[in-house]
Amino acid sequence: MSLPLSMRPEPETGVALEFRGVTKSFGPVVALDGFSHRFEPGRVHALMGRNGSGKSTLVKMLAGVFPPDAGEIRLGDTPCRFDGPADAFRAGIVTVHQELSLVPNLSIGENIVLGRLPQRRRAGLRVVDWPALFARAQAQLEAMGLDLDPRAPVATLSVGQQQVVEIVKAMAFQPAVLLLDEPTSALATREVRLLFDLVRRLKASGVTMLYITHRMSELFEIADTCTVLRDGVRIGALDMATASHGAIVEMMFGEAAHEVPRRRSPARGRPVLSVRGLNRAGAFHDIGFDLHAGEVLGIAGLLGSGRTEVLRAIVGADRAESGSVRLHGREMFGARPRDLRAAGLGYAPENRKEAGLVQSLSTADNICMAAAGSVARRGFLTRAMERPLVREQIDDLRIKAGDPELPVSALSGGNQQKVVIGKWMATAPTVMLFDEPSRGVDIRAKRQIFEIIWRKAESGLAALFVSSELEEVLEVADRVLVMRHGRIVAEVDPAATTLTELYGLCMEGTRA
Ligand SMILES: Nc1ncnc2c1ncn2[C@@H]1O[C@H](COP(=O)(O)OP(=O)(O)OP(=O)(O)O)[C@@H](O)[C@H]1O
Ligand SMILES: [Mg+2]
């Protein structure tokens, strides 16, 4: 039912956000170069640009992480000069950062209300009102369709679940400006829907939103405008009502999109990884499949369906309770990660911050870390041995790393993701498990990663591929297993399956 126009609630008037000649450099790298733009209130403004183009830098200045070198940011009539993130926050600027920033040892509930713990008086003293805290957090989690215990530590969550908790936390404040830096990079379709509902509600109440994503389809669904950056420079801004996919890609990369090469017809070899009856109570049940040499096997499933848990159990990062994992014919159930690696198994995890990279080490050291055993002669690795290995990965994956000897933390999010892949490719594995390999990488880099996976598969690599984006699973894999509630419930041929059919299989019997 629609209300007559005169009775519709007017959107509250929010404040515009204006950048005037904002510049920020890191040593020789100009991350943002004289950026000027006015973001109107009550609208969702997408920021687009390839990996390393300056999007997160822009957001971080607004969030008070660091100040601009030159130029000015204004919120309404007030110039923003923030003395740290807490200061920006007090001004009503709430941020969901690209790299997860929850406190792993605290509970989900504490993370959500961090800094605003509800208190009550007991014997004249102020104490934290724990029941109120957990009840409030529970209600907020439920609003996002999450069935999580607010008392559980954040460390027990998958990357996707942490991402939702970050969003719930941001939404719990009443922001004037909401900055979302790739909030959905590890979310599956259902969680994205819920987030978009919240975003639309905030928009109606006049909140100014900046939204960074590498998922093109989201752009057309949620954004009102799109501002494109290339090498720190504002290339232009488009109204989404009239923008085309091609025009945006051209602005991002400076040239028109190329035709996408379709994948070769896969030649399947003998099984190299055979999993049977793998179980862990509460996580996954009776998991069994064969992965063949030269094959790319996809696993599709919603957030929390058990995909990541299965991968972690195979590589020995977590224990399974029972089952069999045969690698090249040898039983490896319960083997140490080191022995699995020596037997040819590689694993690029979803969480680059914790399991994937050592943030304080250089890009070069991170790439070499996993390969150390295979390139080192007589047990040690010299710079001379390292150099070609590092070069090959940087060139292969087109990693934008000014100086590979600098800490990997200086790379943009998408480039860090490429280092995770490069690190494992450098070990020349025969079986490789990829958990969300394209998380946070731009559309062209995504294609490069897929092409590398296909190319290696052609020369015999057996690859297992997990992604929250079902389109991607259909595109990359030769065969797709569907997981639901910790079980493999179907196997489909991606060439003969539509997106809607696959989504239906993932959802069946789950509450919407
Ligand atoms: N702390 C830092 N130290 C040094 N260089 C940095 C730092 N932060 C960012 N940079 C550099 O600034 C440039 C812009 O990075 P930024 O993180 O803003 O890119 P982005 O557009 O968010 O990319 P992505 O899509 O990969 O997240 C990159 O070249 C990056 O390496
Ligand atoms: Mg970024």
Q: List, for residues 404-424, the tens digit of each pLDDT value.
A: 888 888 888 888 888 888 888
Q: Cβ neighbours of residue 150 under 8 Å, at least 6 residues apart? A: 107, 108, 109, 112, 133, 134, 137, 138, 141
Q: How far is the CA of 355 from the centre of ligand 1 (A)?
A: 21
Q: At 116, is the pLDDT very low, low, confident or very high (cuts 50, 70, 90)?
A: low
Ligand nearest to C-alpha 54: 1
The answer as to whether 4 is a domain residue is no
For residue 101, is pLDDT > 90?
A: no
Least confident residue range of 6-15, 219-228, 260-269, 291-300: 6-15
For residue 62, is pLDDT > 70?
A: yes
Q: How far is the CA of 454 from the centre of ligand 2 (A)?
A: 27
For residue 127, is pLDDT > 80?
A: no
What residues pair up with 271 in beta bridges, in sequence order?
292
> What integer is the mean pLDDT of 172-196?
83
The answer as to whether 309 is a domain residue is yes
Supply the range of the domain harboring residue 511: 270-344+429-512
User: If you average pLDDT over each of 96-100, 192-196, 221-225, which comes out highest?
Assistant: 221-225
The answer as to whether 285 is a domain residue is yes
Alpha helices for 363-480 (secondary structure H): 363-369, 372-375, 383-396, 413-425, 443-458, 470-476
Cβ 415 under 6 angstroms from ligand 1: yes
Q: Cβ neighbours of residue 193 under 8 Å, at least 6 residues apart? A: none
The answer as to whether 5 is a domain residue is no
Pocket test for ligand 1, best of 23, 24, 29 (most atoms within 8 A of CB): 29
- Tell me if 364 sits within 8 A of 383, measured CB to CB: no
Q: How far is the CA of 231 from the centre of ligand 2 (A)?
A: 13
Residue 4 DSSP code? -
The answer as to whether 259 is a domain residue is no
Q: Whose CA is nearest to atom 12 of ligand 1?
A: 31
Q: At 25, is the pLDDT very low, low, confident or very high (cuts 50, 70, 90)?
A: very high
Q: How far is the CA of 31 from the centre of ligand 1 (A)?
A: 6
For residue 260, is pLDDT > 70?
A: no
Q: Angle CA(99)–CA(101)–CA(105) in degrees, nearest 5? A: 135
Last residue of a domain, one of 428, 443, 462: 428
Cα–Cα separations (whole angstroms), residue 475 to 38, 46, 396 = 38, 25, 21
Q: Does residue 391 share a domain with residue 380?
A: yes
Q: Does residue 282 share a domain with residue 179?
A: no
Q: Whose CA is nearest to atom 8 of ligand 1?
A: 410
Say what the pLDDT of residue 465 is.
94
> What integer is the mean pLDDT of 51-60?
93
Last residue of a domain, one of 376, 402, 428: 428
For residue 172, is pLDDT > 90?
A: no
The closest-lying atom of ligand 1 relative to the alpha carbon of residue 417 is 26
Residue among 430, 364, 54 nearest 210 (CA):
54
Q: Does residue 135 share a domain with residue 224?
A: yes
Pocket test for ligand 1, best of 47, 48, 51, 57 (most atoms within 8 A of CB): 57
Say what the pLDDT of residue 446 is.
87
Mind listing the pLDDT tens digit for each residue in 446-467?
888 888 889 889 889 999 999 8
Say what the pLDDT of residue 373 is.
56
Kindly provide the b/e burial profile for residues 322-341, where b requires at least 16 CB atoms within 10 angstroms of the residue's own CB: ebebbbbeeebbebeeeebb
Q: Does residue 230 share a domain with residue 145?
A: yes
Q: How far is the CA of 307 from the centre of ligand 2 (A)?
A: 26
Least confident residue range of 151-155, 214-218, 269-273, 377-381: 377-381
Q: At 279, is the pLDDT very low, low, confident or very high (cuts 50, 70, 90)?
A: very high
Ligand nearest to C-alpha 57: 1
Pocket test for ligand 1, best of 22, 26, 439 (most atoms within 8 A of CB): 26
Cβ 417 under 6 angstroms from ligand 1: no
Sheet containing 29-39: order of strands: 29-39, 17-26, 70-75, 78-79
Sign of CA dihedral 244, 249, 254, 259: negative
The answer as to whether 190 is a domain residue is yes
For residue 126, is pLDDT > 90?
A: no
For residue 436, is pLDDT > 60?
A: yes
Measure the CA–CA gap between 22 and 72, rounded to whole angstroms.
6
Residue with tokens 């997160």: 56
Sign of CA dihedral 85, 91, 95, 100: positive
Give the amino acid at 339: D
- Tell me if 213 sits within 8 A of 414, measured CB to CB: no
Q: At 112, is the pLDDT very low, low, confident or very high (cuts 50, 70, 90)?
A: confident
Q: Does residue 394 share a domain with residue 434?
A: no
Q: Does residue 488 share a domain with residue 380?
A: no
Cβ 55 under 6 angstroms from ligand 1: yes
Cβ 56 under 6 angstroms from ligand 1: yes
Q: How far is the CA of 429 from the centre of ligand 2 (A)?
A: 29
Across the chain, mean pLDDT equals 85
Q: How far is the CA of 213 from the centre of ligand 2 (A)?
A: 9
Ligand nearest to C-alpha 414: 1
Structure tokens that stand for 206 in this block: 């006049």
Cβ 416 under 6 angstroms from ligand 1: no
The answer as to whether 352 is a domain residue is no
Q: How far out from the chain centre does Cα 256 lie?
A: 26
Cβ 26 under 6 angstroms from ligand 1: yes
Cβ 404 under 6 angstroms from ligand 1: no
Cα–Cα separations (whole angstroms), residue 265 to 262, 399, 479 = 9, 29, 12
Q: Does residue 338 share a domain with residue 406?
A: no
The closest-lying atom of ligand 1 relative to the alpha carbon of residue 58 is 18
> What integer is the mean pLDDT of 131-156?
84
Least confident residue range of 286-290, 378-382, 496-500: 378-382
Least confident residue range of 177-181, 378-382, 404-408: 378-382
Domain total of the chain: 3
Q: Does residue 178 share a domain with residue 247?
A: yes
> What integer is the mean pLDDT of 123-144?
81
Least confident residue range of 24-33, 58-67, 299-308: 299-308
Ligand nearest to C-alpha 49: 1
Say what the pLDDT of residue 377 is.
45
Q: Does residue 326 share a domain with residue 217?
A: no
Q: Does residue 86 share a domain with residue 44?
A: yes
The answer as to whether 32 is a domain residue is yes
More confident residue, 425 or 59: 59
Q: Does residue 450 share a domain with residue 412?
A: no
CATH code assigned at 60 = 3.40.50.300
> What integer is the mean pLDDT of 238-259?
85
Q: Does residue 121 share a domain with residue 158?
A: yes
Q: Whose CA is nearest to atom 1 of ligand 1?
A: 410
| φ, ψ for residue 128, nearest 5 deg | -70, 130
Last residue of a domain, one of 378, 407, 428: 428
> What integer is the mean pLDDT of 203-219?
90
Q: Round to the nearest angstrom and report the end-to-end CA distance of the chain.
A: 23
Say what the pLDDT of residue 383 is.
61
Q: How far is the CA of 51 from the centre of ligand 1 (A)?
A: 8
